[in-house]
Amino acid sequence: MRKLIIDTDPGVDDAMMILAALRAPELDVIGLTTVFGNCPVEIGTQNALRLLELEGHGDIPVSKGCGKALVVPLGEFPANVHGDDGLGNASFEAPKGKPLARHAAQFIIDTCKAFPGEVTLAPIGPLSNIGLALQLCPELPKYVREVVIMGGSCYAGGNISPVAEANIYHDPHAADMVFRADWPVVMVGLDVTQQIVMDNSFLNKLYAAQTPATDFLKRIQPLYQAFHANIYGFTAGEIHTHDPSVTAYLVKPDLFGTLETPVHVETNGRCMGFTIADPLKQWGERRAAKVCTRVNAEGVKNLLYDLLAR
């Protein structure tokens, strides 16, 4: 089993990613760390606790992290995408548990050091906690097995600006630190996540399973579907599959094709948050990341169905 820390801003699609990961026998979720992004970090932390309790995993620790980026100022939260509560305005009761007293960045450092070479980090929100952990502990990369990120877009255009994907845009300095560090990084970005589209027929089949996970998703996803209809003109309830694609990669990496290339992040100006692939290393030496560029979309959906419906 692969030990996993999910760094998250839950978040409608974060919820599907986390529920699927908790149900995957190949994955051992040993902590959730929270960050601002889809909603304020205080709300995201409540959502993280709620998701764990839903699956009977109230024992897994939650550690609250950054409420804003390392450098750029905090912007508006996307209530039109994820709701004021981060979960589609579905009005849930408060969770029973509490987060740890320790900051998420410190939790990441301590846990990776406790299991050298075993822990995979799965950041599915802005990269502020991971960037801060690298600042506090520059030797962190040597303790980490792999970093599998939902974020970025090298060839597919942006979703928060014409060129930038939201998670990278919200903290471009932290993102560039992560791509610059000497550890194995996999980028699961819009290049693939926008190719994986779940529509009403897929989602209704999923909801028909009536597991706690699928019942929960049925409550939170309508607003997210309405956002996709408004922005992309989707007419059959279609949604892109962003964060859950990381769970799919972790369980079955063969579903994805990758390009090995250094990635640079633009930190300024109107291209802020653009992830630039430099396969010929014309912008200097930097360890290559695996950038997902191809995907077996049906395979990803079938895998997520199997995890969530079982």
Taking the C-alpha atoms of 51, 108, 172 and 193 in order, what is their torsion angle to the nearest 10 degrees? -40
The verdict on 34 binding ligand BDR (CB under 6 A) reads no
Of 79-108, binders to Ca ion (CB under 5 A) are: none
Work out what residue 120 binds among ligand BDR, Ca ion, none; the CB cut-off runs from 5 to 8 Å by kind.
none
Exactly one of 5, 6, 11, 133 binds Ca ion (CB under 5 A); that residue is 11
How far is residue 38 from each of residues 67, 85, 124, measured CA to CA in Å?
Answer: 11, 9, 11
**Nearer of residues 47 and 106 to ligand BDR, judged by Cβ:** 47
The verdict on 242 binding ligand BDR (CB under 6 A) reads yes
Exactly one of 167, 241, 245, 275 binds ligand BDR (CB under 6 A); that residue is 167
The verdict on 43 binding Ca ion (CB under 5 A) reads no
- Letter string b/e over residues 27-44, b meaning 16 or more CB atoms within 10 A of that residue's CB: bbbbbbbbbbbbbbbebb
Binding region for ligand BDR (CB under 6 A) out of 23-31, 49-57, 85-93, 164-172: 164-172
Exactly one of 35, 105, 150, 213 binds ligand BDR (CB under 6 A); that residue is 150
**Nearer of residues 33 and 261 to Ca ion, judged by Cβ:** 33
The verdict on 228 binding ligand BDR (CB under 6 A) reads no
**Helix 212-232 vs helix 41-54: crossing angle, to nearest 10:** 140
Exactly one of 33, 38, 47, 111 binds ligand BDR (CB under 6 A); that residue is 38
Best CA proximity match to 73, nearest among 177, 170, 176: 170
Exactly one of 120, 243, 244, 296 binds ligand BDR (CB under 6 A); that residue is 243
Whether 228 is catalytic = no
Binding region for Ca ion (CB under 5 A) out of 115-123, 221-229, 235-243, 280-288: 235-243
Strand partners, 207: none
Exactly one of 83, 125, 189, 262 binds Ca ion (CB under 5 A); that residue is 125
Q: Which residue has the tokens 């999923």?
A: 206
Q: Which residue has the tokens 């004021």?
A: 84
> Closest distance between Ca ion and the C-beta of residue 124, in Å?
4
Contact 159, 166 (CB under 8 A): yes
Which residue in 9, 13, 14, 243 is the catalytic one? Answer: 9
**How many residues belong to the site for ligand BDR (CB under 6 A)?**
14
Contact 120, 145 (CB under 8 A): yes
- Give the whole-angstrom CA distance, residue 237 versus residue 103: 38
Best CA proximity match to 222, nearest among 87, 106, 119, 109: 87
Tokens of residue 93, six digits: 């009761």
- Please state the separation of Cα 96 from the chain's center in Å: 24
Whether 306 is catalytic = no
Contact partners, residue 52, CB within 8 Å, separation at least 6: 22, 32, 58, 60, 62, 97
**Nearer of residues 11 and 158 to Ca ion, judged by Cβ:** 11
**Neighbouring C-beta atoms of residue 75, cutoff 10 Å:** 12
**Nearer of residues 171 and 243 to Ca ion, judged by Cβ:** 243
Which residue in 82, 228, 242, 264 is the catalytic one? Answer: 242
Residues that bind Ca ion (CB under 5 A): 9, 11, 14, 124-125, 243
Catalytic residue set: 9, 242
Residues that bind ligand BDR (CB under 6 A): 11, 13-14, 38, 81, 124-125, 150, 159, 165-167, 242-243
